[in-house]
Amino acid sequence: MTNAGRDEILVLVERTAQGDVAASAAEVIGAAAGIGTPVALVVTAPGAPGEPARVAAELGAARVLLAEHPGAATGLGVAEVDALAAAVDAVRPGAVLVPHSVDGRDAAGAVAVRRGLALAVDAVGVSRGADGVIAHHSVYGGAYDVDSTVTTGPLVVTLRHGAVDARAEPRPLVLERLEVTPSGRRAARVDGVEPVGAASGRPALQGADRVVAGGRGLGSKEQFAVVEELADELGAAVGASRAAVDAGYVPHAYQVGQTGAVVAPQLYVALGISGAVQHRAGMQTARTIVAVNKDPDAPIFDIADFGVVGDVFTVVPQLVARLRERRG
């Protein structure tokens, strides 16, 4: 079966733990609109409010498939996989786009296995070629650009959050109910959710527009406050290198890189970070990279758009003061 010419692109609309449409939905629907006609899949518990379907149409979905599944409220991912598999059968799309979140990766992998489809993970963009949809990846810390595609079946693609700027035009809601037979597969049950970092009042690292990150160069947990001060001035999320996490300056949830969060913000400020390849793997696709490091040969300067060779404790307070002045 080849789906190369099929125009409709199936998109999984991810929801937050509170049931709202996740920020990734605008990007995934925007990416789908660039290569075809977005068909959004919204998975809810039976009788849940229809608000997410309306949001999906506002974000540009030409059709919204509403799948009611008893496992949607508490089951870990099985409802999404059951619904995605049913939607693939019903739509026969040109491709399936899913956010590259922890849950999205799970769902994408599982549906690819269930339907025998190829999976392309952590794409930073998608386009169309002669054989169908092509996924674009930035790998090895951004050192190589790689394209992947398949000649049979729709490609299942997970899209990196923050990597796609395109947004689709709003559309009127065209709602269709999708019949889904629960597979009855076993799932862990979620009894409660407590968002990490909500207490700080800062944006979440994943999906943030701006990130200020600190490394071992900050020297101590107390001195890491310099990073937080600049982040708050810019309305940015706080990130860190693994060395800063290992040294106990901040919790692991802040780590950016190969074994941490992969971010693609508009602005990434790296303070006292050398720029090891494992760190770059998590931030290299940021639109603008600013680095402050006292070593002029630090590898971070190879990828920085703006670099300051200097001591963070001299440079950052001046930067914060100037930003405050400009704000008045």
Residues 217, 293: Cα–Cα separation, whole Å? 8
Q: For residue 15, give the DSSP letter.
A: B
- Stretch 245-284: interaction string toward ligand FAD, x if CB under 6 A: ----------xxxxxx-----------xxx-x-xx--x--
* Phi-psi map region of 32: left, alpha, beta (phi>0 left; psi -120 to 50 alpha): alpha
- Scanning residues 186 to 225, which ones bind ligand FAD (CB under 6 A)? 215-217
Distance CA 269, CA 275 (A): 12
By beta-carbon proximity to ligand FAD, the closer residue of 153 and 215 is 215
Please report whether residue 141 would count as binding ligand FAD according to CB under 6 A. Answer: no
Alpha-carbon distance 29 to 26, whole Å?
A: 5
* Chain-centroid distance, C-alpha 87: 22
Closer residue to ligand FAD, CB minimum distance, 115 or 216: 216
Q: Across the beta sheet with 267-271, what order do the strands follow?
A: 237-240, 210-214, 267-271, 288-293, 306-309
CB of 63 to ligand FAD, least distance (A): 39
Q: Which stretch binds ligand FAD (CB under 6 A): 56-64, 93-101, 137-145, 240-248?
A: 240-248
Stretch 50-79: interaction string toward ligand FAD, x if CB under 6 A: ------------------------------
| Structure tokens, 237 | 């999320």
> Hey, which residues between 309 and 328 contact ligand FAD (CB under 6 A)?
311-313
Tell me the C-alpha distance between 77 and 188, whole Å: 9
Query: How many CB atoms are closer than 10 A to CB 307?
Result: 18
Q: Judged by CB, which is closer to ligand FAD: 96, or 319?
A: 319
Site of interaction with ligand FAD (CB under 6 A): 215-217, 241-244, 255-260, 272-274, 276, 278-279, 282, 292-295, 298, 311-313
